[in-house]
Amino acid sequence: MRSPFRHAFVATAALAMMAATVPAKAQDFIGILTGGTSGVYYPLGVAISNIYTQDIEGSRPSVQSTKASVENLNLLQQGRGELAFTLGDSLAMAWAGNAEAGFPRKLDKLRGLTAIYPNYVQIVASKDSGITSLEDLKGKRLSVGAPKSGTELNARAILAAAGMSYDDLSKVEYLPFAESVELIKNRQLDATLQSAGLGVASIRDLATSVPITVVPIPAAVVEAAGAPFVKQTIPAGTYDGQTEDVETAAVLNYLVTHEGVSDDLAYAMTKTLFENLDKLVAAHAAAKGISLENATVGMPVPLHPGAERYLKEAGVIK
């Protein structure tokens, strides 16, 4: 069966005939909540901001670098942003009000726009560390992302599925991607776990600086972790020195908004995104995983009525 993440994006004659510019009210400020500047969310957020500036008349987009999923969702609930990137498991936990994950109560104002590309859980170690498997992480120094970020929640889940915990490590660092890479370069850290699109800038930077090993996450561990994790492969050549395919886990990302955003603006944000997928791919190759036909796959929260209207027009929802 083909992975739903590998479909090419869909374009139809009907969509091509839609107007290029979508009107918006003059006061439509669009705060775009992303992640660290060395990840994938941020460059895609910048690309979306540029697209909205050009195609949503009267809109005022701005991009904010954040600690990603968990912070983004809490900010949305408070009305401090109009569009946010998030991992699917974080979104599900936010909707459920999982306090341990950083959501003291159910974030009931969240509304979905669309599923986007998958995040690959990428564990990368310096070759000097001798780490070639999850088991080898025991007694080593690992960075797991910012505290209670989507990446850090992924780290807990994957280690648990492998029968491990942070207690098995000699040191745990809670650092963003770029800072983790710098510590590995300086031999102050053995490995980093980064949940991101393929070809993330931080790991590309690391791979060009020191010899690396991309550590596999076996299918059995992915199955033990359960939904929303799915089995995926990091293709050979994704990073310098990676000569073989590496099996790993992946989680879908989503773009979400909140119930206070007008139907017209949510409609415009969704429509304009799908009419400019080529510009997102130009900003980062991870956007190749975005397809209109998969827009509602696994959505853990209700769709915003504006997004739903567009997806019905596009034939995604009957």
Specify the range with the lowest mean pLDDT, choosing from 2-16, 187-201, 210-224.
2-16
Question: What does DSSP assign to residue 239?
Answer: S
Q: Are residues 123 and 247 both part of a single domain?
A: yes
Q: Are residues 235 and 258 both part of a single domain?
A: no
Q: Among 235, 251, 267, where does a domain finish?
A: 251
| E runs forming strands in 197-281 | 212-215, 230-234, 246-258
Q: Are residues 247 and 257 both part of a single domain?
A: no
In a domain? residue 41? yes
Q: What's the pLDDT at 149? A: 86
Q: Of 144, 116, 141, which Cα lies nearest the Cα of 131?
A: 141
pLDDT tens digits, one per residue of 139-164: 999 999 988 888 999 999 999 999 99
Give the chain's mean pLDDT: 91
pLDDT tens digits, one per residue of 233-282: 999 999 999 999 999 999 999 999 999 999 999 999 999 999 999 999 99
Specify the range with the lowest mean pLDDT, choosing from 4-8, 29-33, 77-81, 142-146.
4-8
Q: Are residues 30 and 176 both part of a single domain?
A: no
Give the Cα separation of 190 and 140 in Å (integer): 6
Query: Alpha-carbon Rg of the chain, whole angstroms?
Result: 19
Domain that holds residue 163: 119-251
With bands split at pLDDT 50, 70 and 90, how would you rate the model's confidence at 22? low
What residue has token string 């980064």?
Answer: 194
Q: Which residue has the higher pLDDT, 57 or 12?
A: 57
In a domain? residue 318? no
Mean pLDDT of 119-123: 96
Q: Among 251, 278, 303, where does a domain finish?
A: 251
SS3 193: strand
Mean pLDDT of 187-215: 96
Mean pLDDT of 161-179: 97
| Number of independent structural domains in the chain | 2
Percentages of the chain per state (helix, strand, coil), in multiples of 5: 40, 20, 40
Q: What's the pLDDT at 228? A: 86
Mean pLDDT of 285-301: 94
pTM of the model: 0.80
Q: What's the pLDDT at 12? A: 39
